[in-house]
Amino acid sequence: MLKERPNSVWKLPTGGYVKFGAGVAGDCAYEATRLGAKRVLLISDKGIRSAGITEEIEDVLKSGGLAVEVWEDFQSEPTVELVRDCSRFARDAKPDVVVGLGGGSALDIAKTTRMILVHGGEPLDYIHPPLGKGKQFPGAGAPMIAIPTTSGTGSEATDVSVMAVGEIKTGIAQIPMLPEVALIDPMLTVGMPPRVTASTGVDALAHAVEAFIAKRFDQNPAPNSPEARPGYAANPLSDLLAGEAIRLVSENIRCAVNQGHDLCARSGMSLASYLAGVALESGGCTVPHAVGHIIGGELHIAHGTACGVVLPYYIDYVASVDVERFSTLAGLLDPAGRTYEVSRETAQLSAKLLKDLLTDVDLPTTLAEIGVERGKLESMAKATIETQGWAVPLSPRQVTGESLYAILKNALEGSFFE
């Protein structure tokens, strides 16, 4: 009987618990001790050291009576080699608790490291096939505290650890990787430069928008077993979280970029990033992130910039499939919080509002601006369809190589469909 029902199940993985607010990073020694720490491995990067944040956190941990080892030997996006080096360092350091401090890169490295610390092996053993062996972690890793210093990736809320194998971005996504504790402290983001604030903020916006419009859980066929349930699908809870994240970004990103010391705007962006991360963990990402991974890998531009530049043109393509939902999206994107009537025109307006937001925070609005050439569009579309199967099928309107080429052509020229 149960198997005959239409699919009616959705899921939302959650980690341990979240503490949010200005100054909360100062709780890290207390939280590490609560998790059983005597020795802590602090994983961060050189940029966070030069911003003075690493030293502050180190001091808090040491004043709490903890021994601290630091691994911060990188400044770029994670590669499989970097994660391997960090996990080898961790095996020698033998910490009881791992603290990830930084943007998505540091947090992602910390997530995989704390798992390998307990379960052994190399990152490639656990990375998704075909590049890795796809082994599952059989249980929990060393306890982890995530302290984000940007507001965008939402890595503190997800079980995903992204890393590059050669030129291809891939990674590990397994439930036990969710951090036990996230300390989200907007004060740590106050010194972020405008360009990084804009790019990471648009990454959060892309997570939220993509989760908000992704294919819904009840559009999936009923699975034959619990293992066959789809990893991601939009649902009532991801709708709430994604919708609020979109509203918060629309309300705060311009101020956070232009007046970086405004703690109110910074708090709004930190909350948006977290909410969007949880929404993404449940609802999933779709085409803009799929294309963003291809563009980012080839041109080495910031992840949020790469996903964001495609977002308006993709939304323009899909808006007609659900006039009500995309009209709601337009209202959420309005920086003045205006509501709009439900109409086809309002639904299409959401694409224009996204493009306006990119302009307002001084990010590129066309693929031409980031150096994509017309001759590359076809191969980019093909690579996206062929290699990004985790995201493309979540599109609410089917995207083929041909339609994606048309979307990318619009993105190159900055134009919308008629």
Closest CB to Fe ion among 143 and 171? 171
Provide the minimum distance between the beta carbon of 35 and Fe ion in the complex, in angstroms, as a whole number: 28
Both tokens of 342, joined, read 């439900």
Contact between 203 and Fe ion per CB under 5 A: yes
CB 138: neighbour CB atoms within 10 A? 8
Is residue 72 near Fe ion by the rule CB under 5 A?
no
Of 243 and 304, nearer to Fe ion (C-beta) is: 304
Min dist CB 38 to Fe ion, Å, is 35
Residue with tokens 């490291």: 113
Stretch that binds Fe ion, among 114-122, 142-150, 189-197, 203-211 (CB under 5 A): 203-211
CB of 93 to Fe ion, least distance (A): 30
Nearer to Fe ion, 180 or 203 (CB): 203
Site string for Fe ion, 144-183 (x = CB under 5 A): ----------------------------------------
- Residue whose Cβ sits closest to Fe ion: 203
Instruction: Tell me which residue of 162, 157, 160 sits closest to 181, measured CA to CA.
Output: 157
Residue with Cβ nearer Fe ion (28 or 380) = 380
Q: Residue 123 to residues 155, 181, 343: CA-CA distances in angstroms?
A: 18, 23, 49
**CA–CA distance from 96 to each of 138, 144, 275, 279 (Å)?**
19, 9, 29, 30
Q: Which stretch binds Fe ion (CB under 5 A): 10-18, 20-28, 39-47, 202-210?
A: 202-210
Nearer to Fe ion, 64 or 154 (CB): 154
Binding mask 23-52 for Fe ion (x = CB under 5 A): ------------------------------
CA distances from 296 to 291, 310, 312, 333 (A): 8, 12, 17, 25
For the four alpha carbons of 34, 37, 41 and 46, in that order, the dihedral sign comes to positive
Q: Kindly state the tokens that stand for 17.
A: 């618990």
- Minimum distance from residue 270 beta carbon to Fe ion (Å): 16
Of 108 and 203, CB closest to Fe ion: 203
Binders of Fe ion: how many residues, by CB under 5 A?
Answer: 1
Q: Strand order of the sheet with strand 181-184? A: 17-20, 181-184, 144-148, 97-102, 39-43, 67-71
Strands 168-173 and 160-165: antiparallel
Burial of 356 (0-12, 13-18, 19+ CB in 10 A): middle
Of 203 and 334, nearer to Fe ion (C-beta) is: 203
Smaller CB separation from Fe ion, 119 or 207: 207
In angstroms, rounded to a whole number, what is the distance separating the alpha carbons of residues 169 and 188? 27
**Stretches 57-65, 79-87, 182-190, 196-204: which one binds Fe ion (CB under 5 A)?**
196-204
What φ, ψ does residue 21 adopt, rounded to 5°?
145, 160
Residue 223 Cβ vs Fe ion, minimum distance, rounded to whole Å: 27
Q: Which stretch binds Fe ion (CB under 5 A): 92-100, 182-190, 201-209, 315-323?
A: 201-209
Of the candidates 308, 364, 300, 370, the one whose C-alpha atom is nearest the C-alpha of residue 76 is 300
96 interacts with Fe ion by CB under 5 A? no
* CB-nearer residue toward Fe ion: 37 or 370: 370
The site for Fe ion (CB under 5 A) is made up of 203
